[in-house]
Structure formats: structure tokens, C-alpha cells
Amino acid sequence: MIVRSWRTQFDSERIAEYEQFAQSISLPMFRQQKGCLGVFFFRIETMCEVLSLWDSRASVDKLSHSSTYAATVEKIMATGMLCGKQSLLIYEAHGGFIDARRLSKLLEAKSI
């Protein structure tokens, strides 16, 4: 499994707009990507992170050539709500644990 972590900062006065964008535009885009196993959106103060899980490095590499990904990036950049530097890290998972059933219930309960 490959983990892709994208981080940036956003305008603190536009938090609701950022979260709406993540749910209504970014989430559906990630669901369309072949090889994407899941995605999570994290936020602390004005820092946000999009953590996506992938079946292979090839799938992650294809993301940068995806027309739906390019359109999503263009849309969020055009909003002007992002600020500061962006960073991208890609990790290869080498171990771990997840209770998929409990995680699924938690996500459903929180409407994430």
C-alpha cells in the first residue's frame, strides 16, 4: 500500500468553504481514481492535510495525469483560499493495522 500526503495552509476565515470543497469536489474526484483505496481530510488550525491510500505506486503516479485531478487542483487554486507552501510526501507502507469495520462505523456516525 502507498500513502500519499499533501499538506498546505488555508485562509482561516474560509474554513467552512475549504471543508465544503473537500467533501463536494475532492472526495468524489478521489473516488473516481483507479487504485485509490481511500482518502482522509485532516485539519489543525490553518493547516490541512489530504491523506490518500493507494494500491500501488503506479496508481499514485497516474493521479498526476488524471484530468479530473487536474481540474480539481485548478478549481481549488482559483478559490484563493490556500496560502503558504504546499508539500507532498509519498510513503510505502511496510506494516500496520486497521479495524475496517469499526472505522467504517465511526466515519458513518460522523458523516465524514
Positive/negative CA dihedral, 14, 15, 20, 26: positive
Instruction: Give the pLDDT confidence of 23-58 residue by residue, as tens digits.
Output: 999 999 999 999 999 999 999 988 999 999 999 999
Q: Per-residue pLDDT tens for 50-81?
A: 999 999 999 999 999 999 999 999 999 999 99
Question: CATH number of 2-109: 3.40.50.880, 3.40.50.150, 3.90.1640.20, 3.30.70.100?
Answer: 3.30.70.100
3-state SS class at 111 = coil
Model pTM?
Answer: 0.88
pLDDT of 112 above 80? no
Distances 85 to 9, 13, 47, 63, 105 between C-alpha atoms, Å = 7, 18, 10, 21, 35
The mean predicted confidence, pLDDT, of the chain is 93
Q: Report CA-CA distances (Å) from 81 to 12, 20, 57, 59, 106.
A: 9, 12, 30, 28, 29
pLDDT beyond 90 at 2: yes
